[in-house]
Amino acid sequence: MKTKRNLILPLALSLMGSATAAHAGGWCELMPGWTISTHGTVADNVWIRGQFVGAPNGLWLQIASSTVGKNNVAVALSAQLAGKGLLIFLDSPNYTCENFPDWAPIGQIRHVQIKN
């Protein structure tokens, strides 16, 4: 029984390490001064213009399209009106807060949360 445990534990730990290493995304905090913008009469998309803490440059983040993300807009507007910060969860296997690309498609953002 002890031998099985000695074999299973390293296997389980290596699988957990592989699962976390495959996903580079996570929660990113926007620096103060971010703004919300639309595409006006061109499209129903909503964007945040801001910069993640630790990132070298500002970027445009799409938080809503014509079909998804309306709750993201409500959360972002609520945070802005309350003078609170905003956290965005990136759902990306390739990008982190420091290297997330400008104008990335909406599928890269999973959650928007007000920072207390």
Please tell me the distance from the alpha carbon of residue 108 to that of residue 94, in angstroms, as a whole number: 10
Strand-pairing partners, residue 88, are 28, 112
Please indicate, yes or no, if residue 110 is contained in any of the structural domains.
yes
Strands 35-38 and 85-90 come out as: unpaired
Q: Is residue 80 part of a domain?
A: yes
Three-state SS at 82: helix
User: What is the reported pLDDT for 78?
Assistant: 97
Domain count, the chain: 1
Predicted confidence at residue 24, as pLDDT, reads 63
pTM more than 0.85: no
> Which range is least confidently modeled, 22-31, 39-48, 80-89?
22-31
Alpha helices in 22-115, H assignment, sequence order: 70-82
96 in any annotated domain: yes
Token look-up 């971010």 returns: 34
Q: Which two tokens stand for residue 18?
A: 């592989």
Q: Is residue 89 part of a domain?
A: yes
With respect to residue 11, please indicate whether it lies within any of the assigned structural domains. Answer: no
Average per-residue pLDDT for the chain: 83
Containing 47, the helix (H) or strand (E) segment is strand 46-50
pLDDT tens across 78-109, in order?
999 999 999 999 988 889 999 999 998 888 88
Report d(CA 64, CA 46) in Å as an integer. Answer: 5
Give the domain extent around 100.
Answer: 24-115
Domain-embedded: residue 3:
no
Question: Mean per-residue pLDDT for 54-70?
Answer: 94
CATH number assigned to the domain comprising residue 106: 2.40.50
Within-domain flag for 108: yes
Domain contains 1: no
pLDDT of residue 2: 55
pLDDT at 33 over 80: yes
Give the whole-angstrom CA distance, residue 54 versus residue 28.
9
